[in-house]
Structure 1
Amino acid sequence: MRLRPRQSLFVERSLAALCDHGNTLSIASTGFGKTIALSAVVARSIEGSDAKACILAHRDELTSQNRTKFGRVAPKITTSVIDARTKDWAGQATFAMVPTLTRTANLTAMPALDLLVIDEAHHAVADSYRRIIDRARSANPDCRIFGVTATPNRGDRKGLREIFDNVGDQVRLGELIASGHLVPPRTFIIDVGVQDQLREVRKTLSDFDMNEVAGIMNRAPVTDEVIRHWKEKAGDRPTVVFCSTVAHAENVAAAFNDADISAAVIHGDLDGATRRRILAAYASGEIRVIVNVSILTEGWDHPPTSCVVLLRPSSYKSTMIQMIGRGLRTVDPEEYPGVVKTDCIVLDFGTSSLTHGTLEQDVDLDGREPVPGPAPSKTCPECEAQIPLAVTECPFCGADLSREGSAPIDSFIMSEIDLLKRSSFAWVDLFGDDAALMANGFNAWGGIFFLDGRWHAVGGGKGQASRLLGVGERTVCLAQADDWLNNHESDESAFKTKAWLKQAATDKQLKYLPPECRHDFGLTRYRASALMTFGFNKRAIRAAVDAAAGTERMAA
């Protein structure tokens, strides 16, 4: 496989910072593919040498996931695992679970490392991580430390500078929305008459006092408004709700169920089997709304989720980003047949959006309190009120701002044209009407096609049946088709196919093309290849698109 161009830049910047400083923290938002990029940094650091690397994660499933993806990026580098069942340092790259490795006997057995990698690196200042880092530095003072995270600013204000003294790169949410790798949020701030009270809530070390928040939010009139606004703005979308306390969550779920909207509660006091059963019911569609208390904020994703309801304020932007991020992932139609997702509705009944303004986060390695001041804002063109930058409906006059350049995406000078230019493959407008684009490699092909008001991404290749990659917005479909090619092609094949752009079509190709193509003296070998690929796969492409149209159910 090959990296996306932005992933390649991330790797280059991270390696340069590691070389200059001996450590670096790189930041990549949900949807970037940070595990793939992390794997490439490790591979480039140790391949062709005797250097040893250890990649840390705090859960079993992350350790396994990281090892699997590393194998795709660097299949020739040997790997091993340190977890509850296995203690094996034989691989050149070892994937270790922190709770296991931090035990004294396991730390003592850890060999000298040349590179220590920390996934979810905002955990790096925790005592368990510090023991591992200190041991690695003690065994080899030249051991380099590389960290990757989506949310570097911790809620407890502990800075990361004692581990990382620089930031190698930062990929922001808006950049990924603009490139089609996340769907955009549509944020509504809904005042149910409690915002002034919420502003007076006491702050604890980690966040607002949630018992005080519950005293304000856990009331029937407020909950009734939540149900009304959800029906009005979210329709029947798969939804995750964030509440302040268990009692608050139970009352909210009961209100949804009383309104004939299937809902369930999940929280930390439930046993693991019960939590898994509830999440499975939500994933299957048996439950439409899942209400939680601080358990689905980090490390959980169900891509069809397309509505996030905030019934608690967040004093820290990182927490708000994590909560809203649960609804921003795009959907793979093979995994979720018939689901179409084009955006995520955010219903904020608290004060998070008013406090923080946008989903973008500046990094502070020292963990200092932000400088007091107003959150990023804009002026409503209808009532001239100052409102948060991210909202798509004025909370004062109700004006629709979705077309007013209000979304965070508009602060980035990126567009679909940029994506086409950045692609490692050339995209061909097959028929000159901008309704069908294709790109070719040696092993695979990808295309996007407009039909019945929607874009459809389709991919195929040698030994692989044509399959639907995505349905929805054009930019998202283009990103999914481009990723398909990146997953099945190499740097060499991308370079060679682009070289075909300057070569005339061959006589053999012309034999397979319609007569009008034989009179096109500017026809290149690459365009001819794309036209032939479409011709050979036309029926399969149409079948994939028709099948999608017949099974669609909206997630957005």
Structure 2
Amino acid sequence: MILVDEGHHAAAESWQKVFRRFPNAKVVSLTATPFRSDQQQLHGEIVYRYPFTRAMVNGYIKQIHSRNVAPSEIYFNYSDDNRRHTLEEVLELREEAWFRRGVALSPECNRHIVETSIQQCERMRAQTGIQHQIIAAACSVDHARQVASIYNECNYRAAEIHSGMDPDSQDAVIERLRRGQLDCIVQVQMLGEGFDHPRLSVAAIFRPFRSLAPYIQFVGRVMRVVQESAPEHPDNQGHIVSHVGLNNDARWSEFRELDLDDQALVHSWVDGQTDNDAEGENSGPRARRFDGGMLVDSEILTRFVEQTYLDPSDDRVLDEMLDKDIAPGLKLGDLVSRDQLRERLLAQQ
């Protein structure tokens, strides 16, 4: 028997050589992202599935929440044309690649993501005294340095990490993170699969994710629980912070649907139907460089777009909660109805 961890890599030639060498072996693949952004098919039968929702309800991973900076007005110039747009217009423009790139590289927009992520991290630290930390995703090495410098200006100790650094330098940054000598680590296509540091509780996204697999891998860095089997503990909450102009809430919605929808949807992903960006490019394991284009002059913030993964308005989430064992032979659904649970959760929010 061959067990493949991070099983979405099983389509790679290196794994295929192993399978050809042992043609009669049973193969079991395990993965949190059963699809590939390069559209290679993952062959096999889905025999078991454990939803993220159920893992959150049972306290195996953190409950996650999304907060997107939402400007009421944004001022920018593009092709020598000064423009002012309302939030409604921004929500339409974010479908355009040039607009997302401009937001990603805008110091003004980056600063608002930095400030929002710091506020969220400080709020968590104040609740229990645990030194929660931030992990940030940047577009490129230069962009990572710019983002780290904004955090440092805000008195949050930050350092960047990327594949261009030598291994000793990478290890030194990670060691500073683990020792609590950093408040934020800014990465470029690193610290993805398998990186385990539970005090990372805020994921600050400064780049547009064009496909779902790398988005889930990055968000997964803030899902490790601090307190075991305590789903309601304040330390077991993960927060994703971004900007509406980056359009990452589209990935958030796809993530929830992938987790909550029926098996047919999962099979469609395994069969190679991956999400591609509107530009028709696949998101490979490389740092993207965004050049030129839009320059944001300023934006006026009035609110945030906030969503929680365990949304009380979603019956599928409530059904998972009601199915939870709270004593031998007793489920939560034996004590409370769906509508009663929804009412209590909405009041709590």
TM-score by length of 2: 0.67
Over 3 Å counting, the alpha-carbon distance change for 1:245 and 1:401 in structure 2 is: closer
Task: Look up the match of 1:128.
Answer: 14
Letter in 1 for 2:108: P
1:242 touches 1:292 (CA, 8 Å); kept in 2? yes
Over 3 Å counting, the alpha-carbon distance change for 1:356 and 1:132 in structure 2 is: same
SS at match of 2:59: coil
Task: Kindly indicate whether residue 34 of structure 2 is the aligned counterpart of residue 155 of structure 1.
Answer: no
Task: Look up the match of 1:346.
Answer: 240
1:303 touches 1:327 (CA, 8 Å); kept in 2? yes
1:179 touches 1:419 (CA, 8 Å); kept in 2? no
Letter in 1 for 2:253: G
Task: Look up the match of 1:239.
Answer: 134
Task: Look up the match of 1:79.
Answer: none
Q: Distance in 2 between matches of 1:128 and 1:199?
A: 37
Shift of 1:197: 5.2
Task: Kindly indicate whether residue 326 of structure 2 is the aligned counterpart of residue 414 of structure 1.
Answer: no
Task: Look up the match of 2:270.
Answer: 365
Over 3 Å counting, the alpha-carbon distance change for 1:320 and 1:371 in structure 2 is: closer
Query: Considering only aligned residues, what root-mean-square deviation do their CA atoms show, in Å?
Result: 3.3
Q: Within 5 Å, give how 1:8-47 maps onto structure 2.
A: none
2:226 touches 2:235 (CA, 8 Å); kept in 1? yes
Shift of 1:310: 1.1
SS at match of 1:117: strand
1:309 touches 1:346 (CA, 8 Å); kept in 2? yes
Task: Look up the match of 1:176.
Answer: 55
SS at match of 1:347: strand
Letter in 1 for 2:241: L
Q: Which ranges in structure 1 are unaligned for 5 or more consecutive residues? A: 1-114, 203-211, 334-338, 373-394, 427-556
Match for 1:297 among 181, 188, 192? 192
Shift of 1:229: 1.7
Q: Which deviates the most, 123-132 or 315-324?
A: 315-324
Shift of 1:299: 2.0
Letter in 1 for 2:192: T
Shift of 1:344: 1.0
Shift of 1:332: 5.0
Over 3 Å counting, the alpha-carbon distance change for 1:190 and 1:400 in structure 2 is: closer
Letter in 1 for 2:255: L
Shift of 1:117: 2.0
- How many corresponding residue pairs? 268
2:70 touches 2:305 (CA, 8 Å); kept in 1? no
Over 3 Å counting, the alpha-carbon distance change for 1:213 and 1:399 in structure 2 is: closer
2:70 touches 2:302 (CA, 8 Å); kept in 1? no
Over 3 Å counting, the alpha-carbon distance change for 1:412 and 1:276 in structure 2 is: farther
Q: Distance in 2 between matches of 1:261 and 1:402?
A: 26
Match for 1:309 among 204, 212, 231? 204
Q: Distance in 1 between matches of 2:306 and 2:59?
A: 23
Match for 1:271 among 148, 152, 166? 166
2:120 touches 2:202 (CA, 8 Å); kept in 1? no
Task: Kindly indicate whether residue 235 of structure 2 is the aligned counterpart of residue 329 of structure 1.
Answer: no
Q: Distance in 2 between matches of 1:340 and 1:355?
A: 25
Q: Alpha-carbon deviations, 1:149-193, whole Å to 9, x = none?
A: 1111111111112xx2x1111111111001111121111122355
1:179 touches 1:414 (CA, 8 Å); kept in 2? no
Shift of 1:421: 4.2
Over 3 Å counting, the alpha-carbon distance change for 1:136 and 1:200 in structure 2 is: same
1:177 touches 1:409 (CA, 8 Å); kept in 2? no
1:214 touches 1:245 (CA, 8 Å); kept in 2? no
Q: Alpha-carbon deviations, 1:60-104, whole Å to 9, x = none?
A: xxxxxxxxxxxxxxxxxxxxxxxxxxxxxxxxxxxxxxxxxxxxx
